[in-house]
Amino acid sequence: MTNTYKTLEFDAIIEKLKGCCLTDQAKESFDKLAPFLSETELTAALRDTTEARKILDTMGSPPLVSMKDIDKYLITARQGGVLQPDQLEYMAAFLTAVRRMKDYLNRGKSLELSLPYYEENLDSLDGLKDEIHKSIRNGRVDDYASNALRDIRRGITILEEKIKSKAEGMLKNNKEYLSEGFIVNRSGHVCLPVKKEYKHKIPGSVIDKSSTGATLFIEPAAIYEMNAELAMLKLDEENEVRKILYALTALIADHSEIFEENMRVIAKLDFIFAKGKLSADLCAVAPAVNTARYMNIVNGRHPLMDRDTFVPLNIRMGGDSGIRGVVITGPNTGGKTVAIKTVGLLSIMAQCGLHVPCDEADICMNSQVLCDIGDGQSVTENLSTFSAHIINIIDILKRVNRESLVILDELGSGTDPTEGMGIAIALLDELKRSGCLFLVTTHYPEVKQYTEKAEGIINARMTFDRETLKPLFQLELGKAGESCALYIAKRLGLPYGIVKRACEEAYGDKAISELNLIYENVSPDDKQANRKEYYGPRIRKAADKPSYGGSSRAKSFRKGDSVLVYPEKKVGIVCRTADDDGMLIVQIKKKKLRVNHKRLKLLVPAKELYPENYDFSIVFDTVANRKARRMMEKGHQPDLEIKIEEPL
């Protein structure tokens, strides 16, 4: 199933869900997410997603937290360790988040949903939280955490002031012996910076010296005893702080089971609300699910594609419809593969308890989704594309059953067309016998014909715009697709004779009817105009006469005439009349093209469009060239140039 997830891009959906999570626990749950095989469990999962979406739409995002490292802190507490002030504050912040989550869910109970009642499984331990907040502030144990700590710190403050006052007095009275005019702290000792030659002038202990040795840092004997007393007070402070931290850590250890239950519930809520957030992001709906092997998707969209450009698909199969297989045909890049991947992906999403992006959906539960999509060529195993496909399909046939959904792309491709077609039909027979639901794409016309006659299988096609020569990416059930190769070739200007010959080879007795479809609404003159023409250079013999110079039709076109250019049916303006070969220069959308006079049809004569003696440079020349000509008319301009555009 892992390969199927990757092929159908469900792994990308998982990443989107993980991006909606705050907790690592919820992200790990999504890594393990798989389609439910129990209808009861699936219904409950979908209900959770639906309720989360409704709460989000009504109340906004829940106040969830990441819970990072809380499990580690609980282990430390249980093992008799001590949590540091910042760690205790983090635990208190988690309990605050639990309280906010309880309040959020309590407000949600007014919506008469079941999800808000997870609140009853949360305990914010308000007493413990208040005790931590009372004892710990700004990352340190507060002075008022205990009376003893308050008294000790008060004594430390008083003694430090005495030491400072004494040292400042000595500093003031011994300026001539000091290298600096300030007190220095070295290794916790209050020292005076004494010049080396005056070290005997200040009684006390040398604690340190400068890098040059010229200054000695001496702790005066007068404040030595006060420093010793201060050290004892700080040791008392440290012991009292540790005692308080141990007491708070012990409280957390005593409530560790409640912490773990809170974490479990928060992670579960994070998981559920992530599904609701994805539903909102995708503008998705809750699908109905069934075990009757029935699937109906209305205006389904691929969740990873731009919904503004993606053409929704509609598909109905299985159940009372009698359709168990859909064979999709159509031109390359027409969206066949995207269509079958969309159906497969939406099926997996629905069976995982997720909403699906569509207007409406009723999706059957599948025991497994089996697919073979893409190149699949293995360089390391020296397998061709065809071999890789066959190995995948053999594995699918071993595992398929009536409750499977099978998706196969370009069935029978990658080998001799005749044999590939035979394999494709044989595989469709086998899938039909298995009773599974299946979607298949193919190019083989024989497969289309087989599908038309086979019971329980229906043709489908990806529609194609014959005017723009672009695929419409729309799935249409009940009709076989066309490659449109000959039609595209005709639209792009392939001569009529070649298209006719191609039809005869491809369709035999049906060539005439196919040709009529291709050249529908095209006049005989236009077909003749579509004959092969040579635009390249010719070798002219000395005795040769112009082929078209005397043609009355070629000479009938005048500069400025509005003409229709075939076969593209684009409107242009004649900017140079016919040469000896009957070729004219026609401007179409600011581009100048060499066109044979037989491809032109007069729309509006120039005399009806422009006044007599009209300056056609306004139409055919660039603004820069016209300006350059005007400047040249005034006199020699060495830096000016006129750029002549060569026709294509």
> What are the pLDDT digits (tens) for 318-328?
988 889 999 99
Residue bearing the bigger pLDDT, 321 or 46 = 46
Helix/strand/coil for 93 = helix
pLDDT at 241: 94
Residue 277 CA to its chain's centroid (Å):
15
Q: Which of 416, 284, 272 is nearest to 361 (CA)?
A: 284
SS3 of residue 77 by DSSP: helix
Q: How confident is the model at residue 384 (pLDDT cuts 50, 70, 90)?
A: low
Task: Please report which confidence band the pLDDT of residue 536 belongs to, taking 50, 70 and 90 as the band edges.
Answer: low
Kindly report, residue by residue over 229-261, the tens digit of the pLDDT. Answer: 888 999 999 999 999 999 999 999 999 999 999
* Alpha carbon distance, N-terminus to C-terminus of the chain: 55
Share of the chain above pLDDT 70, in %: 88
pLDDT confidence of residue 504 = 84
Which range has the top average pLDDT, 361-370, 479-488, 624-633? Answer: 361-370
In single-letter form, the type of residue at position 452 comes to E
Tell me if domain 288-483 and domain 552-633 are identical in fold. no
Residues 29-49: what's their mean pLDDT?
97
Q: Provide the phi-psi class of 253: left if phi over 0, else alpha when psi is between -120 and 50, else beta.
A: alpha
DSSP 207-268: EEE-TTSSEEEEEEHHHHHHHHHHHHHHHHHHHHHHHHHHHHHHHHHHTHHHHHHHHHHHHH
Q: Give the residue-averaged pLDDT of 94-120.
A: 96
Domain boundaries of the chain, sorted by first residue? 8-125+255-281, 145-229, 288-483, 488-529, 552-633
Tell me the backbone φ, ψ of residue 593, rounded to 5 degrees: -125, 145
User: Which candidate, 267, 254, 193, places its Cα nearest to that of 29?
Assistant: 267
Least confident of 33-37, 252-256, 345-349, 380-384: 380-384
Q: Is the pLDDT of residue 599 over 50?
A: yes
Which is more confidently placed, 207 or 290? Answer: 290
Decide: residue 245, CB within 10 A, 0-12 exposed, 13-18 middle, 19+ buried: buried
* CB of 128 closer than 8 Å to CB of 252: yes
- The phi, psi pair for 597, rounded to 5°, reads -60, -25
Which range (224-238, 289-303, 413-427, 633-647) has the least confidence?
A: 633-647
| Band of residue 647 on the pLDDT scale cut at 50, 70, 90 | low
pLDDT at 358: 96
What sections of 79-208 are H helices per DSSP?
85-108, 126-135, 147-173
CA separation for the pair 51, 643 (Å, rounded): 69
The H or E element spanning position 75 is helix 70-78
Per-residue pLDDT, 182? 85
Per-residue pLDDT, 542: 61
CATH number (2.30.30.30, 3.40.1080.10, 1.10.1040.10, 3.30.1520.10) of 552-633 reads: 2.30.30.30
Note the pLDDT of residue 191: 86
23 class by beta-carbon count within 10 Å (0-12 exposed, 13-18 middle, 19+ buried)? buried
- The CATH label, of 1.10.600.10, 1.10.10.10, 1.10.1420.10, 1.10.760.10, for the domain at 8-125+255-281 is 1.10.1420.10
Higher-pLDDT residue of 370, 310 = 370
Per-residue confidence (pLDDT) for residue 378, from 0 to 100: 40
Count CB atoms within 10 A of the CB of residue 453: 7
Give the single-character DSSP code of 647.
Answer: P
Residues with Cβ < 8 Å from 404, sequence gap 6 or more? 366, 367, 368, 369, 370, 434, 436, 437
pLDDT, position 530: 52
pLDDT of residue 556: 87
At residue 414, the pLDDT reads: 77
In sequence order, what are the residues at sequence separation of 6 or more whose Cβ sits closer than 8 angstroms to the Cβ of residue 521? none
Residue-wise over 86-104: b if at least 16 C-beta within 10 A, else e?
ebbbbbbebbbbbbebbeb
Neighbouring residues of 514: CB distance < 8 A, sequence distance ≥ 6: 486, 503, 506, 507
pLDDT at 313 over 80: yes
The edge-to-edge listing of strands for the beta sheet with 294-300 is 288-290, 360-364, 294-300, 313-318
* Cis before 611 (ω within 30): no
* Whole-angstrom distance, CA of residue 332 vs CA of residue 509: 26
Tell me which range, 26-30, 485-489, 564-568, 608-612, is most confidently predicted by mean pLDDT: 26-30
pLDDT (average), residues 591-596 = 88
Task: Please tell me the predicted confidence (pLDDT) of residue 574.
Answer: 92
pLDDT in tens, 464-497: 776 666 777 788 888 877 667 777 777 777 888 8
Confidence of residue 200 (pLDDT cuts 50, 70, 90): confident
Per-residue pLDDT averaged across 42-63, rounded?
Answer: 97
- In this prediction, residues 443-461 reach a mean pLDDT of 89
Q: Look at 535 and 232; give whichever has higher pLDDT.
A: 232
Tell me how crowded residue 305 is: count the other CB atoms within 10 A of its CB. Answer: 14
* DSSP states of 575-637: EE---TTSEEEEEETTEEEEEEGGGEEEEE-HHHHS-TT--THHHHS-HHHHHHHHHHHTS--
pLDDT of 403 over the 70 cut: yes
User: Model confidence at 525, in pLDDT bands (50, 70, 90)?
Assistant: low
Q: What is the pLDDT at residue 296?
A: 96
Question: Length of the chain, please?
Answer: 648
Nearest to 412 by CA among 335, 489, 329: 329
Q: What is the pLDDT of residue 222?
A: 78
Q: In sequence order, which residues have a C-beta less than 8 Å from that of residue 622 and are 6 or more positions away?
A: 643, 645
Share of the chain above pLDDT 90, in %: 49
* Residue with the larger pLDDT of the pair 619 and 267: 267
The answer regarding whether domain 288-483 maps to CATH 3.20.20.150 reads: no
CA atoms within 13 A on the CB side of 52: 28
Backbone angles phi, psi at 521, to 5 degrees: 65, 20
Banded pLDDT at 381 (limits 50, 70, 90)? very low
Q: Give the model confidence (pLDDT) of 416-425 as tens digits.
A: 888 889 999 9
pLDDT for residue 528: 53
Q: Which amino acid is at 17?
A: L
pLDDT class of 382 with cuts at 50, 70, 90: very low
Beta-strand relationship, 294-300 and 184-186:
unpaired
- The candidate with the shortest Cα–Cα distance to 290, out of 401, 399, 368, 403, is 403
Mean pLDDT of all residues belonging to the chain: 86
Q: Give pLDDT, residue 249.
A: 96
Is the pLDDT confidence value at 264 over 90? yes
Say which range, 19-28, 82-91, 304-313, 610-619, has the weakest mean pLDDT: 610-619
What integer pLDDT is reported at residue 553 of this predicted model?
81
Residue whose C-alpha is closest to residue 368's, from 336, 397, 342, 332: 397
